[in-house]
């Protein structure tokens, strides 16, 4: 069994998340070694980076486009750059970061392949979390003739920012096509880590990867 497979071969377990972190962010934080150089794309209010700075002495930057979120980052003492991540990350050098993180946002990107390639170029490893469109509830909603609305995808079909929804199998296929090797997997359902039948049971998937 590979190290990546061992990372999911465990019993269902609750994520002991700090109260200010979403469960997927708490899971991501567990993968970040102390004193790492971290780039958080679409960093929101900066809660993950602030947590990593305080608990793991990490250094890095957040990239965020929303004005209010940028202000929240500054109040937390997080270095933030106001930029659309799809406009390019050319201000960063190859291998500048140990980890490049994109949490619950890749489904809203237009140039998904380009974003993943850039993540793998400027970081030694990338981490992506996304809502699993293969969850049984989504299939059931479509069978009933309705687009699914859930906690991870809380939008109606006409106002959703999500452009490229993915199942777990589809995302793994894309990583393989881009020659990105999976180095870790985690699957969550309602904030709990799960091991069996993640393709149907997981509401969120989290992947760690690097260039082959």
Greatest Cα-to-Cα distance within the chain, rounded to the nearest angstrom? 49
Calpha distance 184→9 (Å, rounded): 11
- The number of folded domains in the chain is 1
Segment 31-52 shows an average pLDDT of: 96
Residues 174-210 have pLDDT tens digits of 999 999 999 999 999 988 999 899 988 889 999 999 9
Does the pLDDT of residue 6 top 90, yes or no?
A: no
Mean pLDDT within 108-124: 92
- Whether residue 160 is predicted with pLDDT greater than 70 in this model: the reply is no
Q: Please write the tens of the pLDDT for every residue from 19-31.
A: 578 999 999 999 9
Q: Tell whether the model's pLDDT for residue 38 goes beyond 80.
A: yes
- Residue ranges making up the domain that contains 136: 3-211
Side-chain half-sphere of 44: how many Cα atoms within 13 Å?
13
CATH number for the domain harbouring residue 51 = 3.40.50.150
Of residues 13 and 161, more confidently modeled: 161
| The model scores a pTM over 0.85 | no
């Amino acid at each position: 069994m590979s190290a990546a497979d061992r990372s999911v071969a465990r019993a269902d377990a609750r994520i002991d998340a700090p109260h200010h972190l979403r469960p997927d962010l708490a899971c991501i934080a567990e993968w970040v070694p102390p004193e790492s150089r971290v780039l958080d794309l679409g960093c929101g209010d900066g809660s993950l980076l602030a947590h990593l700075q305080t608990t793991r002495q990490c250094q890095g930057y957040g990239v965020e486009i929303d004005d209010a979120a940028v202000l929240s980052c500054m109040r937390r003492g997080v270095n933030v750059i106001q930029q659309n991540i799809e406009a390019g990350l050319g201000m960063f050098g190859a291998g500048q970061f140990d980890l490049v993180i994109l949490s619950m946002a890749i489904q809203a990107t237009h140039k998904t392949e380009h974003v993943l390639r850039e993540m793998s170029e400027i970081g030694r490893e990338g981490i992506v979390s996304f809502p699993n469109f293969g969850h049984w509830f989504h299939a059931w909603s479509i069978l009933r003739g309705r687009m699914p609305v859930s906690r991870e995808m809380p939008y109606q079909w006409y106002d959703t920012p999500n452009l490229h929804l993915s199942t777990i199998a589809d995302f793994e296929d894309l990583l393989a096509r881009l020659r990105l090797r999976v180095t870790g997997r985690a699957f969550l359902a309602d904030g709990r880590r799960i091991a069996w039948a993640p393709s149907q049971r997981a509401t969120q998937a989290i992947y760690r990867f690097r260039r082959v």
